[in-house]
A and B are shown apart, each in its own frame.
Chain A
Amino acid sequence: MIVVLALAVGGLYAAGAFLLLQRSLTRIILGIALLGHGANLLLLLAGGASGRAPIVDGSDQAVSDPLPQALALTAIVITFGLTAFLLALAYRSWLLRHDDEVEDDVEDRRIARLGRGKS
């Protein structure tokens, strides 16, 4: 089971990194979301093998580690909120420009042209 999940983490990271390198904003946001899922799953896996629900009731079966679950929950909430913010920002960008492409730094381009013009 842990091998399958580890492969899933790897797949999520790979797909996320690929999407992040695209020029289109929608793909970048999807990439961020996938990377976030991968990271949260990795956090969950860091607790080791799964076990019984971590409730102390006197039985001596191995329980799963609760700490990574709590950490993953916190991280999921944060990732969720920020993805929502990013989507709102992307929508705003669409409203302003009607274009999904990430732009270059305008001033940087201008200065680069200056440099080329002189040489």
Chain B
Amino acid sequence: MNVLVPLPVVLPLLAAALSLAAYGRTTLQRAIGLVTMTATCAASATLLTLVIRDGPMSADLGGWGPSIGIVLVADLFAVVMLAVSSAMVLAVLVYAIGSPATGDSAALFHPVYLVLAAGVSASFLTGDLFNLFVAFEVMLSASYVLMTLGGRAEQVRSGMTYVVVSLLASTLFITAVALVYAATGTVNLAELAVRMPDLPPFVRDSLGLLLLVVFGIKAAIFPLFFWLPDSYPTAPTPVTAIFAGLLTKVGVYAIIRTQMLLFQSDGPSPLLLSIAGATMLVGVLGAIAQDDIKRILSFHIVSQIGYMILGLGLFTVAGLAASIFYIVHHIIVKTTLFLVGGIVEQATGTGALRRLSGVATRMPVTAVLFLVPALSLAGLPPFSGFVAKLGLVEAGLAEHRHVIIGVSLLVSLLTLFSMTKIWGGAFWGTADEAAFVNAAPNRSGAPALMIAPTAVLVAASLAVALAAGPLYGVAESAAESLIDAGAYVRLVTGP
């Protein structure tokens, strides 16, 4: 029982209520948001150090036992995700306050944003399938509001697709929970891990497939990704950035958690590996066809999800460690790229490559901030993406999965091509001063509050590359604890 464990969920939720009470007073709402998210970051970071030092913790809320009460589990994988995600939420909040296009003076933006943060934290910490559903719903309801907050025709159109697809996934999730309960008599993940192997293989595989579809819709894996590139780009930039960085990764987290705990297979899973290959390839080909910065980046989210599923599909410690490292790298880099895309849009009023030119001449600082994460996304040394992809390739070769590794390398090359397309289209060329309608008169072309968090995130992604050794060690121990489902069960139910 540790009082720290529920804090990353409780703090933002309480603050959301406070923020709602401060309805209409934007400055106060901003202060509440910043203070809360700083505290949440501190709590998550403390949890991370405690878990690394003393091993995983669990908390039975209200003192009820794990089989009837609500149980939160802070194992290494969960707290790593928690620490990275709360840092992203804080950075993007600063950016949102700095960016004039956010519309954060809308009285609902700050409360809903905090609810989103609480939902994301709860999804990582929960040790119960039904509470995972509730956490998803908290997070998704907040995301529906954030996506359509502007109320413009375009947002309503794409928001509708997003809401309907997500609701369908939620309905399937309830169905899955009901079937799991009917088959096993529990929804607690640790108890499920004990009872699942006793089920007939057919029932077990069906449940596994149903949950994979549910989380696959949220994670946007092939062939369930069509809603993502349509809906993400229309939201305000900070909203898109936080969705891109966190929401799909919560889906990936849920896939990894359930597959490892409940449906672990002995060797590489052909199904997951084929899904991974198709997701990578289709995502990147979609990106190449696009013309708008945010849409290109949205398709790359899909493509990158494939890499994470690839590591999971190998079902080895090396593969999982690479996946976890990849997720951390990806969250930081992807969020940064969207923030930079937002800066360009803010300065020029458009994200369409055919209308952009010469951003590097007019806004050199912004150009550097784009170049580093873009090269990292493609996996060029010495950036963090290179370390992540190297880990995946090594893990795949150790299992003799040459085809899928070949596909992943090809996709890296196409990613590089697609990034150079943005670079050539938007950043190179002659700068037409008339095009930079809203650009600030400095060398970055944007308010300092937009540049600062972006620069901090770029530095963070460089730090991930520099400290790759120790961080990879953490990812490896997280992977080892995931492989050993028994440890999770002992942690929750007691020795």
Q: Name A residues whose Cβ lies closer than 8 Å to a Cβ of B.
A: 16, 20, 25, 28, 32, 35-36, 38-40, 42-43, 45-48, 67-68, 71, 74-75, 78-79, 81-82, 85-86, 89-90, 92-93, 96-97, 102-103, 105-108, 111, 115
Contacts and interface: CB of A to CB of B under 8 A. Distances in A.
Contacts of B68: 67
Contacts of B175: 39, 42
Given A82-B144, A92-B151, 4 more contacts: A20-B164, A39-B174, A39-B178, A81-B141
Nearest to B159: A89
Contacts of B168: 20, 32, 35
A90 B289 CA distance: 31
B171 interface: yes
- Of all A-B residue pairs in the complex, the 3 with the closest CB atoms, nearest first, are A39-B174, A46-B182, A43-B178
A54 to B, nearest CB: 12
19 contacts: A20-B164, A32-B168, A39-B174, A40-B174, A42-B178, A46-B178, A46-B179, A71-B177, A78-B141, A78-B170, A81-B141, A82-B144, A89-B163, A97-B153, A102-B160, A105-B161, A106-B154, A107-B292, A111-B291
Contact of B289 (A28, A39, A96, A111): A111
Interface of B: 68, 130, 133-134, 137, 141, 144-145, 148, 151, 153-154, 156-161, 163-164, 167-168, 170-172, 174-175, 177-179, 181-182, 187, 229-230, 233, 289-292, 295
Contacts of A47: 181
Contacts of A108: 229-230
A43 B172 CA distance: 11
Contacts of A16: 171
B174 A75 contact: yes
Contact of B177 (A43, A78, A81): A43
Nearest to B156: A93
A74 B128 CA distance: 14
Contacts of A90: 160
Nearest to B186: A67
Contacts of A93: 153, 156-157, 160
A111 B290 contact: yes
A106 B231 CA distance: 11
Nearest to B172: A39
Contacts of A25: 160
A40 B229 CA distance: 31
A19 to B, nearest CB: 11
B144 A103 contact: no
Contact of B156 (A67, A79, A96, A105): A96
Nearest to A29: B164
Contacts of B151: 92
B164 A32 contact: yes
A45 B181 CA distance: 10
Given A45-B182, A85-B163, A107 B177 contact: no
